[in-house]
Structure 1
């Protein structure tokens, strides 16, 4: 066995769940993470099960609709969103649900969040992998004002979660070190969104190698610390909306090769082509 490397349907939003399954199969991914979205296919268990069978791509995880843009999907109640996502994952045989921490205005939800997540993990057997987020920052690079959008915090380290998703782009946006965060999370880290980024106000979701995070180091760390044995998953989640079909295929093939080479402990990228803009750096001036 090896760590599965999946492809997120978020790469193809706002539509494109079937595209995710088809391209994952074509490129040799191990499965798909389904982002529950306004697209009907993304929340229909029959449709998703049919796609998984047709393309021989299992659903590795379901991403709950806990984004601002999905506030009406699966209803308005935050726990209902989580519970319906768990039901969808169970119906599809997926072991994990990815969810975000509460927004600052969701005070009641936030008060019981850690306990509610733990209870649902215990009663359903599902890994509820709470994802690291970031502060909201102004577009002015000279401003030092950050806005705390999540309660109790965007940072899952030390919050008592049993299962965590580490998103490398979110770590970059917050100015954090993804490798240091992976080390601090220890065995609670069960799910990785493989992407890249740079500090600033934008959540870039670049290809690994295009930002300033040590993506290779994170993968090597996971490979050497029992990630496979605890059912860990790596999912490529990058933005491809501005790419042509050829560029998208090349980019996603590159990300898959990058993941596998470093997860296997080789630490080599001779055969990995990272499309431009390679190593784009954030400038404060």
Structure 2
């Protein structure tokens, strides 16, 4: 029986925000990450398919996934038509040689898009021959009130998606157990955004191991199940006082993941 290759641990370009996409490639390659996830967003380079392909070639590091511009702050990136964004994300994925597009569920006010979303994602996968991994989100909370901002649901586990992304910062905000999500999803778990959370109403994206999420147990569980998708570090380093501290944090996150995936010692 052929040996299962180790799970790759890659870096989201959003982990360097407000730094550029170019700086994320350079940092990921120098720190020893296995790849890069492109957060298509306000940085103009992240929206330029040819520029992203050139950065990947120059730094000799692959793009493992494309995060479609479906965040609240990226509603006008690549136009305002949501299905057009998902088609263009597939164009980027093909151009850079990756097989996964990460997408958030629609906002509730995107009624027409939301009504056809589950079936539409399945059609996109068939049309483009790539994975569209729908990401878990969370209720928006203010004090004791919770607002359901996503449709058909912020939780993709109970929806009929073939492929799902689990984000541990989001599960922390939603007060879900990510290890149980792994077990419930089974082979539908296609992609991981690794971060931590202290369980506040904010989407914190802490360095793994610095919050209350069972990050180590989660990684051990996906390794035990023979997970073959991508693990992507998606953390918030904006409060790092300098470049040295930021890179220390990103190195710590990488080593944490590899250790608990059973790939290396601490």
TM, length-normalised to structure 1: 0.89
Contact 1:14 1:37 survives alignment (8 Å): no
> Hey, what does 1:183 align to over in structure 2?
183
> Hey, what does 1:274 align to over in structure 2?
none
Matched, 1:53 2:57: yes
Structure 1: give runs of 5+ residues left out of the alignment.
272-285
Give the Å deviation of 1:94.
1.2
Give the Å deviation of 1:178.
1.1
> Hey, what does 1:242 align to over in structure 2?
239
Equivalent residue pairs, number: 261
* Mapping 1:28-177, distance limit 5 Å: 28-138=32-142, 140=143, 143=144, 145-177=145-177
Give the Å deviation of 1:15.
4.0
Compute the RMSD of aligned alpha carbons: 1.2
> Hey, what does 1:263 align to over in structure 2?
261
> Hey, what does 1:275 align to over in structure 2?
none
In the alignment, the residues of structure 1 paired with residue 166 and residue 195 of structure 2 have an alpha-carbon distance, to the nearest angstrom, of: 10
In the alignment, the residues of structure 2 paired with residue 30 and residue 78 of structure 1 have an alpha-carbon distance, to the nearest angstrom, of: 30
Contact 2:6 2:263 survives alignment (8 Å): no
Runs (4+) of structure 1 moved beyond 6 Å?
none
Contact 1:102 1:150 survives alignment (8 Å): yes
> Hey, what does 2:203 align to over in structure 1?
203
What are the Cα deviations for residues 230-253 of structure 1, in whole angstroms up to 9, with x where unaligned? xx0000000001112111111111
> Hey, what does 1:219 align to over in structure 2?
219
Contact 2:173 2:202 survives alignment (8 Å): yes
Task: Find the residue that maps to 2:222 and give its secondary structure.
Answer: helix
What are the Cα deviations for residues 164-187 of structure 1, in whole angstroms up to 9, with x where unaligned? 100000000011111111111111
In the alignment, the residues of structure 2 paired with residue 70 and residue 165 of structure 1 have an alpha-carbon distance, to the nearest angstrom, of: 19
Give the Å deviation of 1:63.
0.3
Matched, 1:6 2:10: yes
